Every structure is written in C-alpha cells, then in structure tokens.
Amino acid sequence: MVKILEDIINLFFPETCMHCGVEVERSGNLLCFGCLSDLPLTHFSFIPKNRLENSFRGRIPVISATALLYFYKKGMVQQLIHQLKYHNRQFIGTFFGEWLGEEMISSGRFGSIDLIVPVPLHPDKEKRWER
C-alpha cells in the first residue's frame, strides 16, 4: 500500500536531481545517474599515504585520513554543500555520510576514528544563520 502511494505521489511530484534537475530513476536518489557518475570521487579511503594524509605530515600525527569528494569552486560539490548548509537539506549530508562510511568500512583502513571534521560555515554566514 505504501509503495502504491509513493508511486502516485511521484507521478505528480517526481523527485529530481539536486544538481541538474532531471527526474531521477529511483525514489530517494539524490542525483541522477549522469551527475552521480560526474562526482569527483577521491578514492582516498583505499589509498594509503594519499594526498590528504600527506598534507598532515609533519604537522600532526595522522594514521589514516580520507575525503569522499574533491572540491572545485563553482562545481557540483560546492552546490550540494551550499544546499546542505544554507537551505536545510540535511538529507544531502546523510547521503554522503552513509556513502563515506560504507567506503571507509570496506577499505579496512579505519578500525577506529578519533575525529570527523565538518565543512565549516564562513564566520559572516554563520552569524546570519544564527539569527
């Protein structure tokens, strides 16, 4: 019964890709297949001594570090982060968090985690957000 109701709602209000606006094939998908395949994945979870880990070398002791995506100014990742942070689209964070978590588990490089660093708000925008 629930599936039928979801199908009827989706008929009149189809879910669309958060990046390009094209209708997504499956309910609950954040991005269409084309945009998913265009995401700039780092694959750092599977690469020992990756660029992120190396960037910490000599600064602080880091055993393993990872990031799911590369960030490019005015790119798809920036648009999605903007939607998450400033338009209360928390499901975007959940989507990428679950994806990164699955990747980290399957890599076998992250037995324990001491710190997760979120993407911070710019101080000016944080003040506006608090109002």
The reply to whether 68 and 26 lie within a common domain is no
Q: Is 44 in the same domain as 6?
A: no
Domain that holds residue 54: 39-110+118-130
Q: What is the pLDDT of residues 113-129, one digit of tens each?
A: 888 877 666 677 656 55
Predicted confidence (pLDDT) at residue 69 exceeds the cutoff of 80: yes
What total number of domains does the chain contain?
2
Q: Which residues touch 91 (CB under 8 Å, ≥6 apart)?
A: 30
Same domain, 21 and 45: no
Indicate whether 44 and 19 sit together in one domain.
no
Structural contact between residues 84 and 91, judged by C-beta atoms closer than 8 angstroms: no
- Based on the domain organization, do 75 and 102 belong to the same domain? yes
Q: Are residues 87 and 24 in the same domain?
A: no
Domain co-membership, 45 together with 26: no
Does 12 have pLDDT greater than 90? no
Per-residue pLDDT tens for 95-110?
999 999 999 999 999 9
Do 70 and 18 belong to one domain? no
Same domain (yes/no): 60, 87 = yes
Residues 25, 70, single domain; the answer is no
Whether residues 16 and 55 fall in one domain: no
| For residue 88, pLDDT beyond 90 | no
Determine the pLDDT at residue 72.
Answer: 92
**pTM of the complete model beyond 0.85:** no
List Cβ neighbours of 62 (8 Å cut-off, separation of 6 or more): 53, 56
Q: What is the pLDDT of residue 28?
A: 67
* Chain position carrying tokens 């101080």: 123
More confident residue, 122 or 74: 74
